[in-house]
Chains A and B, each alone.
Chain A
Amino acid sequence: MTEIIIDPVTRIEGHSKITIQLDELGQVVDAHFHVTQFRGFERISQGRPFHEMPALMARICGICPVSHLIASAKTCEEIMAVSIPPVAVNLRRVMNLAQMVQSHALSFFHLSSPDLLLGFDADAAGRNFLGVAAAAPQLALDGVAMRKFGQQIIERLGGKRVHPGWIVPGGVSHPLEPEIRDEILAGIPDALERIRRTLSWYKANVADWADEAAVFANFPSLYMGLVHENGDIAFSDGDLRVVDAAGYLVADHIDPRPYWDYLGESVEPWSFLKSTYWKDLGYPEGLYRVGPLARLNVIDQMGTPEADEELQQYRERLGRYPASSFYYHHARLIEILHCIHAIAALLSDPGILDDRVRAVAGANRSEGVGVSEAPRGTLLHHYRVDENGLIEWANLIIATGHNNLAMNRGVLEVARKYVHGTEIQESMLNRVEAVIRCFDPCLSCSTHAIGEMPLNVQLIGPNGQVLDELAR
């Protein structure tokens, strides 16, 4: 048995490695995506007052803190047993939509566009965002501008672009000022122009990636995401819906509170990331996907006209329930378009300036569950508190955990297609990494890194000897 190790996986959020096992004939027999970092927030939070949880949980991630803020605040509001003011619901939506834009822009432009524009076989030394900037400056400019657009909205609403403290148990800490609303609205036309240009570029070039689309985690599965009552896509509220590969409605408008009745959590010894599965199908057959591809599969429509036109084209080309995870990229772009329109619509309602933005209460229940959509998929928080409102126990199910089984199967599928023999080629390993990038996993990257992130790949023989090695 021979093993190939990709450590760390590059251009993703966090630290991980991939191992690929080959048999004596050089054929791939197994592969795993290992998450090698440990955070321990479920343990850290024990003993903290519940109202501190949103601020604490936001520290889980520097890319998607807003989703954690929302899921955590909703969990706290279950414990408080309150309904928050309607304007607070809408203000949170604006911030979460902005986070979708900036995070999706990061995923598409900064992390994945080097493969798409320059080619999966391009020289690794130049296959990065700087290479994109040199080869297609407008594409890079659009990426920089769209991420900035989302970040600036978060910063203007929350005071900080990373870990804003504005979303609190009961609502938001202060109302929206008219000048901030106007400033955000002024940026809408430019953002729309940029995402339209990017969608056109993607659709004009998608045929070039047909080989990758055919094998990048392309298998039937369940899909889960939040939807509004009318079937519109939902990010901050709404209810869970689950469909299968043929579109059969497995579950609809289900309460997240007894998620333990339908979602199982499994732990493997080779990763710190839990694998979540649909209990009725068992482990690991209960594999399901969340995130942009899954959201577009579970919803009836986006809910904004231009994004609905794009969704219709997407479905006409790929079918009603696309199965290849390569199409996370396309789904991400459609979601950006929708989010920009949705931000404009929410901010154009005069009621958005209402100053009743927070409900106040102590702990009136001993347990709460909150759910939101993070850019990468559904996010569940679950807390139990004692009689003083101190956290006794917490459980978090993050998007990347929902997708863990699918990512592992995707790695195996791509390795079987592209990895052969005993000599490693960088381009085939890049495809194994690229299937992971489709899911845009977030392994938490809020810590400022000092140092380097080299990629070392070793081909290890049956007796442990290093047969081949690559580094970048």
Chain B
Amino acid sequence: MSVAGNVLIICYGNPIRGDDGAGWRAAELLADDPRAVGAQVLARHQLTPELAEDVSRASLLVLVDASEEPGVAGSVSVYPVPDSPKAGSAFSHHVDPTHLLQLAATLFGQSPRAVQVSIRVADIDPGTALSAPVEAGMPMLVDAVIDLINQHRQRCA
């Protein structure tokens, strides 16, 4: 059963592939951020079907990831998770955000409103450090997630 105000933040990526580890860095920052108190923060390499139950219990799901979409490195995008999966997306041990929401609804009866927050990468070569532009963009990424949490809480109040 989801509870109004229950916020689940799943930060994902590969922490040893440079900027693809932005999600893990965000998870660290959000876990220490007093503005995010009460939200559940998970760091994962990928989205997997095992997350469906946790997702079903949330009233807001925020997915934090690195993006290879064209744009300025370190810039942040916020957009709702689409209802339809990307064309050609395969279904294996990891799932895309849309499939994860569909699994939550199918197996556990409900899925939350879901928003993706992505930061554009500069370098995803092997390494544990973020590039300078992505590191500089992390505060903006965290603020974007906090804004979503605050908006959601106001809506639920």
Contacts and interface: CB of A to CB of B under 8 A. Distances in A.
A140 interface: yes
Interface in B9-60: 12-14, 16-17, 20, 45-46, 48-50, 52-53
B45 A144 contact: no
Given A11-B92, A445-B93, A448-B12, A137 B50 contact: no
A255 to B, nearest CB: 35
Which of B50, B94, B95 has the most A CB atoms < 10 Å from its CB? B50
A294 B66 CA distance: 41
A91 B138 CA distance: 39
20 contacts: A11-B91, A110-B92, A110-B93, A111-B92, A128-B91, A130-B99, A137-B106, A137-B107, A141-B107, A143-B49, A144-B49, A144-B53, A446-B45, A448-B13, A448-B45, A450-B67, A452-B88, A452-B90, A453-B92, A472-B88
A129 B45 CA distance: 20
Given A62-B45, A450-B20, A10 B92 contact: yes
Nearest to A140: B107
B64 interface: no
B70 to A, nearest CB: 13
Interface string B91-133: 1111100010011001100000000000000001000000000
A447 interface: yes
Interface string A433-472: 0000000000001111111111100000000000000011
How big is the B interface, by class? 20 to 34
Given A144-B53, A454-B88, A449 B94 contact: yes
Contacts of B153: none
Interface of A is mostly: loop
Nearest to B104: A133
A151 B17 contact: no
A144 B88 contact: no
A162 interface: yes
A452 B13 CA distance: 15
Contacts of A451: 68
B16 A130 contact: no
Contacts of A453: 88-90, 92
Contacts of A445: 93
Nearest to A150: B50
Contact of A10 (B20, B87, B90, B106): B90
Contacts of A137: 106-107
Contacts of A63: 93
Contacts of B91: 11, 128-130
Interface residues of A, number: 37
Contact of A59 (B13, B16, B48, B95): B16
Contacts of A129: 49, 91, 95, 103
Given A448-B17, A453-B88, 10 more contacts: A110-B92, A129-B91, A144-B50, A147-B49, A445-B93, A448-B13, A448-B20, A450-B67, A454-B88, A471-B88
A417 interface: no
A65 to B, nearest CB: 11
A139 B98 CA distance: 21
A106 interface: yes
A111 B51 CA distance: 17
Contacts of B46: 62, 448-449
Nearest to A105: B50
Given A63-B93, A140-B107, A447 B52 contact: no
